[in-house]
Amino acid sequence: MSPLDEHELDRLRVDLESDRVERKESAANTSKLRRNICALANDLPGHGQPGVVFIGVEDNGGCADIAIDDQLLTKLAGMKDDGTIMPIPSFVVQKHILSGCEVAAIVVEPSQSPPVRYRGRVWVRVGPTVRLATREEEQRLAGRRRAGERPFDQRPAKGATVEQLDLDYFESHYLPQAVAQEVLADNLRSPDQQLRSLRLLVEDVPTWGALLGLGRDPQGWIPGAYVQFLRIDGVEITDPIRSQRVLTGRIEDVLRQLDELLKLNISVRTEVATVSRERRSPDYPVAALQQLARNAAMHRSYEGTNAPVQVYWYSDRVEIRSPGGLYGRVTPENFGRGAVDHRNPLVAEIMYHLGFAQRFGLGIPLARRELRQNGNPDPRFDFGPTHVVVTVEAAP
Whichever domain contains 12, its CATH number is 3.30.950.30
Are 279 and 210 contained in the same domain? no
Any domain includes 319: yes
Any domain includes 140: no
Are 209 and 283 contained in the same domain? no
Q: Of 130, 165, 197, which closes a domain?
A: 130
The CA distance from 143 to 136, in Å, is: 10
Any domain includes 139: no
Q: In DSSP terms, which residues pair with 279 in a beta bridge?
A: 271
Are 208 and 241 contained in the same domain? no
Q: Of 102, 130, 158, which closes a domain?
A: 130
Any domain includes 141: no
Q: Closest Cα partner for 340 from 353, 324, 329? A: 329
Any domain includes 312: yes
Are 278 and 387 contained in the same domain? yes
Are 26 and 159 contained in the same domain? no
Q: What pTM, to 2 d.p., does this model score?
A: 0.77
Beta strands in the chain (DSSP E): 21-24, 51-55, 85-86, 91-98, 101-108, 117-118, 121-126, 129-132, 201-202, 205-206, 227-232, 241-247, 268-272, 278-282, 309-313, 317-323, 380-384, 387-393
Are 86 and 175 contained in the same domain? no
Are 234 and 330 contained in the same domain? yes
Are 291 and 375 contained in the same domain? yes
Length of the chain: 396
- The interaxial angle of helices 345-353 and 251-265, nearest 10 deg, is 70
Buried b (16+ CB within 10 A) or exposed e, 309-321: bbbbbbeebbbbb
Are 236 and 211 contained in the same domain? no
Any domain includes 79: yes
Any domain includes 42: yes
* Tens digit of pLDDT at every position of the chain (396 positions): 446 889 999 999 999 888 999 999 999 999 999 999 999 999 998 888 999 999 999 999 999 999 999 999 999 999 988 889 999 899 999 999 999 999 999 999 999 888 999 999 999 998 889 999 988 888 788 777 655 568 999 999 999 999 999 999 999 999 999 988 888 777 678 889 899 989 999 989 999 999 999 999 999 999 999 999 999 999 999 999 999 999 999 999 999 999 999 999 999 876 655 555 555 689 999 999 999 999 999 999 999 899 999 999 999 999 999 999 888 888 888 898 877 888 999 999 999 999 998 778 889 999 999 999 999 999 999 999 889 999 999 999
**Cα separation values, 353 from 216, 299, 347, 359, 379, Å:** 19, 16, 10, 11, 27
Q: Of 105, 130, 155, which closes a domain?
A: 130
The CA distance from 278 to 280, in Å, is: 7
Any domain includes 363: yes
- Side-by-side strand order, sheet with 51-55: 21-24, 51-55, 101-108, 91-98
Determine the structural domain holding residue 341 and report its residue range. Answer: 227-393
Task: Give the number of domains in the chain.
Answer: 3
**Cα separation values, 71 from 75, 76, 80, Å:** 6, 9, 15
Are 152 and 102 contained in the same domain? no
Are 263 and 181 contained in the same domain? no
16 contacts: CB under 8 Å, gap ≥ 6: 60, 61
Buried b (16+ CB within 10 A) or exposed e, 245-281: bebbbbbbebbebbbebbeebbeeeeeeeeeeeeeee
Are 326 and 387 contained in the same domain? yes
